[in-house]
Amino acid sequence: MSIHPTAIIEDGATLGSGCVIHAHAVITRHCTLGDGVVVHPGAIIGGDPQDLGFNPATESYVRIGARTVLREHVTVNRATKAGGSTEIGADCYLMAGSHLAHDGRLGERVILANTVLLAGHVAVGERAFVGGAAAIHQFCRIGESAMVGGLARITRDIPPFTMATERDELVGLNIVGLRRRGLKPAAIGEIKRAFREVCRSAGNPRELAAAALASGTYASDEARRFLEFYGGGRRGFLRARVGVDDSAEGE
């Protein structure tokens, strides 16, 4: 473990082996960091939530998975409810100035680019990428392996394996990302079919996804997870814009 001069680590914080805490970083007593977590200068981890009704005496937490990196001036707030936690999975990378608000959830291998803003209760699936200065409304969900463009403004849920940009625009599937994950062509083909069936069809997307699942015609775990995503959430879903090409590719 390496703790640089002027770093502040409050009594009660738990740090795993091999953690590196740089100068002027603040780790409050509410934090648990896994092995190999790196916190860069000026980051504040475990601060009180930005909620006017929050009682600072509330015992709530931040939990960060192994090998995650938090760059300069990242802020991660603890949860609002007693016993609750804001959670970051293993191998995530939060670039400079990004913010994860209270009760947020990041899956494993999530990347947040510079100055990304995630409001309270936002959940991000594994291997998702959120571009620089994107802002995500509270209670939104971003599905696994989704890609959000820089400066995007998102107020609804983004399905897994897709790309979103601008103001709630769903622009296609993240095909390059799926190939980099090593998905077989058959699985990618089923995801394309599910995308067309739910995102490009008229009707309620929850009902369309439920019907597609019930049909028993989807064999891949990935396509089924895409459809199952529509069974949750409270913000509504992004829909494909007219004329979108479901074979669109993104990094």
Long-range contacts, stretch 162-169, CB < 8 angstroms, 24+ apart = 162/195, 162/199, 162/238, 163/248, 163/250, 164/238, 168/238, 169/238, 169/241
- 């995500």: which residue's tokens? 136
> 101, 131, 114: which is closest to 71 by C-alpha?
114
Q: Residue 158 corresponds to which amino acid?
A: I
| CB-CB contact of 65 with 88 (8 Å) | yes
Is 120 an annotated catalytic residue? yes
Q: SS3 of 41, please?
A: coil
Token code pair at residue 180: 């980099």
**Enclosing H/E stretch for 183:** none
Q: How far, CA to CA in Å, does 111 sit from each of 9, 79, 80, 129? A: 25, 21, 24, 5
Q: Is 40 a catalytic residue?
A: no
Catalytic residue among 22, 40, 73, 102: 102
> Which listed residue (120, 125, 132, 250) is catalytic?
120
- Catalytic residue status for 182: no
Name the active-site residue from 103, 107, 177, 250. Answer: 103
Pairing of strands 61-64, 105-106: unpaired
Name the DSSP class of 163: E
Residue 54 token pair: 């929050």
Which positions are catalytic? Answer: 102-103, 120
